[in-house]
Structure 1
Amino acid sequence: MNIETKSLLLRDFKASDKSELSKICSDLKLMKYVFDGPIKVNEFDTFIKKYFASSGKKIGLGTLCRKDINEVIGFAGLLPFKGKGKEDGIEFGFVINKPHWGNGFGTEIGKTLIKYGYETLNHSKLFATVHPENTASIKVLNKLKLVKIYPNIDIKDRGPRLVYSTITIESVEDTLKLICSYSNSDKKSEELKNRWDQILKGDDYKFPFPFGIWFRGHSRSEEYKLLPSIFRQDKDAKKHYRESALFNSFKLYNPSYNETHKDNLAWLTLMQHYDLPTRLLDWTENILIALYFAVKDSDSKTNENEESNGKLYILNSDRLNRITRMSQFENGLAIPTSIEPLLYSFIVSGKGKTGLLQQIHNFNLYEKIKIYNSAIIEWLYGGQEVEHKLIEEKMRYAVAVFPQRINARMQVQQSMFTIHGGKISTSVREGNQIGTPISLEELNELQGSDKEFLDYYIIPKEKKNKILNELKMIGIHQRSLYPDIDKQAEYLKKIWFLKSNN
């Protein structure tokens, strides 16, 4: 086991850890609510052998270290969980020595263990047990957005415990519970609604529903971070795409679009339509359309993706733009002619800051950008003050854009985009470079809990086919979402067969 977070390292137990861990495990106050109380010195070796993962094992406890001071601060990990009936699986947990409390380490390692359980172990639901009087840990579980499923049960070697679990989407009905209020809601409806309200909470949400809340579905929860395809490695070649060459070649091969596509963003939108890698990331205003994309591969002939959990993302686009836009006067939802989408689309041409300046002059935007935020121009000319460093950082972020829906597919799918800054390049000289892109997950992690703009739900792999069939019954399927004639033909080939006489 070797799991790393921003501040912590969770690794296999070493003999050199014994002294510090035995002190932690024998501390009466610290271990009051853990297992069956403090571990006696003569029982420590048995405890390690029983619960700690051996080298190379994915489940078990490990030593938790603080990276900045290279010190053992506790232990954490995942263990098999035996609940009631079908509620079996794995649970995560952690113990952190008291001098290191108050730093958010519990939440940090908790988030990472949940992600590890979903993506590495491919479990669709995770559990946590906590003593009813352990209020500090209960607060952490609430921060991690877990729901209490058993109020008080006796667990062997631990005594009375509350049992919490992660929330999953297991049907179209669950999805609708996210966004609909029910007068007689059950517990799951209430928790789903609480999570939904959290992404909307605060005075900053000023739009009537559903404007500004977008959705995205991934058929494999571990597939990739929320970065556009141009920034991901090709699966076969294990290399990044050459963005500038790809973009310029597409334009040269398709001159008939020159009259209707006047700027880089329009060309990027067209490339996205034809599944070419771009710096655009697709979103939709319709949660059920996103749900379809999270489960659709369970309908494939190989059924390869049915073996992985799906993931449904929710984005508060207005809150994202309040963080990432470069002017305090224009910080809401962007449109294609807004400054940030134009700047990010100019990065496509390559040549770093020099190329960006050239594009600004080519499109006669120098004065407009100078008025919008003069620090942008100053940064391009080498400014090194605090405000220029902020621009340099924001050029790596993403901005939510309401695009021109230039084709029937975008209209049917209620398409939205985030356009992402940053550049992956090895040919631009130092000092002229645009920084590498930052994923939406990474940016979200940097925000306080009241400023988070992103959330997600896991869709259990065993529920994906059921959900896909439910969506078909209400008219959400390949034919309804892809008006293109080639996609219509694909759909027809799937459904019209003669019945076999055998």
Structure 2
Amino acid sequence: MRHLDGPVKSISEYISAVEETIKHAKSSDSVVVFRGESKVYDTPCQPTIFRTQLSKSDKFFEKNLFEEMSANHLTNGKTYLEIAIDAQHGGFPSRLLDVTYNCLAALYFAVTPYYTKEETSGDSEDGMVYIFFLEDLYCPTGNNINEAYNACINHEADWFSGQELFQKNHKLIDHIKKNPRIIAQQGAFILFQGERLSSFPNYRYEAIKIDKNAKVQLRNDLRLYFGIHTGSIYPEEFNLVSEMIRKSERVSSESFSLEGEMNLIFHNIKRLTEHYLDTIELAEETEYQKLVEE
């Protein structure tokens, strides 16, 4: 893994860094996915299940969790993998790592903490975007990936369970249109196998640091130019509240009337006049007459 020189401070710098990184990696035969993290972790790109002691004390913790989710109607998943995806986006521990095919969505995550936190709470720390290069892609409904996931949580296959060698076989699970959040994030997952964390090997990903002092501007630019914000990345109704309030502040409540329409005309004339005055100020002398006529 290499870091580009210095943290990026703008979207244009970021796009250039992504292009340079992909070109340097010679990734024409790889599937490229991205992940953003809003701070620099000692162990980056770590699935949540490996941060809890419960999974270490009970190897059937995941299976028990999924069965409880099904019993309490917190999931409609028909396979353990589908339930795991619901668990991942429901705030439960999971061995799946969220990634995205959209580098700008990854940038959003690098400059914005999880939606339950204040948007500015991570602005004192640099963010990171990781670019992964993987050779194989697994269909989320395929037998092979579902059997692999079942083996991870059932611990029935003697040749597989507990074998550290197979923990290093990280698998990219393709985009699945299971819920609006995955669709909005253009999301996919990397499956971490085994009972202990086996970190993603350094040679298979690169890192781009995001300047902490640019986070506010980057969030504003992502919203303005690409329509990427908390309400679009997490499209559940409760996450749309702040964006709807922000837009509501700009919605006109002026009643339709002659006075209102005339006020709008005068406002537009004022703006147009200001535009031509600014243009004349910068114009060549030969252009004055034409501009005055306009």
State the alpha-carbon separation in 2 of the partners of residues 216 and 345 from structure 1: 22
Q: Which amino acid aligns with 2:194?
A: G
Deviation of 1:411 after TM superposition, in Å, equals 1.3
Partner of 1:486: 238
Deviation of 1:403 after TM superposition, in Å, equals 3.7
Given candidates 49, 57, 62, the residue that maps to 1:243 is: 62
Partner of 1:397: 169
Partner of 2:222: 471
Q: Which amino acid aligns with 1:463?
A: A
1:290–1:223 Cα change, 3 Å: farther
State the alpha-carbon separation in 2 of the partners of residues 240 and 477 from structure 1: 38
TM-score with structure 1 setting the length? 0.44
Partner of 2:267: none
State the alpha-carbon separation in 2 of the partners of residues 437 and 301 from structure 1: 29
Q: Is 1:200 aligned to residue 5 of structure 2? A: no
Given candidates 150, 169, 194, the residue that maps to 1:346 is: 150
Q: Which amino acid aligns with 1:279?
A: R
TM-score with structure 2 setting the length? 0.72
Deviation of 1:468 after TM superposition, in Å, equals 1.0
Q: What RMSD in Å do the two structures reach over aligned CA positions?
A: 3.3
1:255–1:485 Cα change, 3 Å: closer
* 2:38 and 2:113 in contact (8 A); partners too: yes
Partner of 2:199: 439
Deviation of 1:298 after TM superposition, in Å, equals 11
State the alpha-carbon separation in 2 of the partners of residues 392 and 175 from structure 1: 37
Tell me the SS of whatever aligns to 2:215.
helix
Q: Which amino acid aligns with 1:293?
A: F
Tell me the SS of whatever aligns to 1:306.
coil
State the alpha-carbon separation in 1 of the partners of residues 97 and 244 from structure 2: 29
State the alpha-carbon separation in 1 of the partners of residues 168 and 152 from structure 2: 13
Moved over 6 A (4+): none
Superposed counterparts of 1:21-420, under 5 Å: 166-179=5-18, 193=20, 195-201=21-27, 205-206=28-29, 212-222=31-41, 224-233=43-52, 242-254=61-73, 257=76, 261-297=77-113, 301=118, 303-318=120-135, 332-338=136-142, 341-347=145-151, 349-350=153-154, 352=155, 354=156, 356=157, 379=159, 392-420=164-192
Partner of 2:210: 459
Q: Which amino acid aligns with 1:437?
A: L
1:489–1:459 Cα change, 3 Å: same
Deviation of 1:311 after TM superposition, in Å, equals 0.4
Which stretches in structure 1 are left out of the alignment for 5+ residues? 1-110, 112-143, 147-165, 181-192, 319-331, 358-378, 383-388, 424-435, 445-451
Deviation of 1:176 after TM superposition, in Å, equals 1.7
1:463–1:240 Cα change, 3 Å: farther
Which stretches in structure 2 are left out of the alignment for 5+ residues? 251-294
* 1:396 and 1:437 in contact (8 A); partners too: no
Deviation of 1:293 after TM superposition, in Å, equals 0.7
Tell me the SS of whatever aligns to 2:113.
helix
Tell me the SS of whatever aligns to 1:304.
coil
- Percent of aligned positions that are identical: 24
Deviation of 1:255 after TM superposition, in Å, equals 7.6
1:167–1:338 Cα change, 3 Å: farther
Equivalent residues, number: 246
Larger relative contact order (CA 8 Å, sep ≥ 6)? 2
Deviation of 1:406 after TM superposition, in Å, equals 1.1
1:441-470 CA-to-partner distances (Å, cap 9, x unmatched) read xx23xxxxxxx2200111121111111111
The structure with the largest strand share of the pair is 1
* 2:152 and 2:193 in contact (8 A); partners too: no
Deviation of 1:336 after TM superposition, in Å, equals 2.0
* 2:38 and 2:128 in contact (8 A); partners too: yes
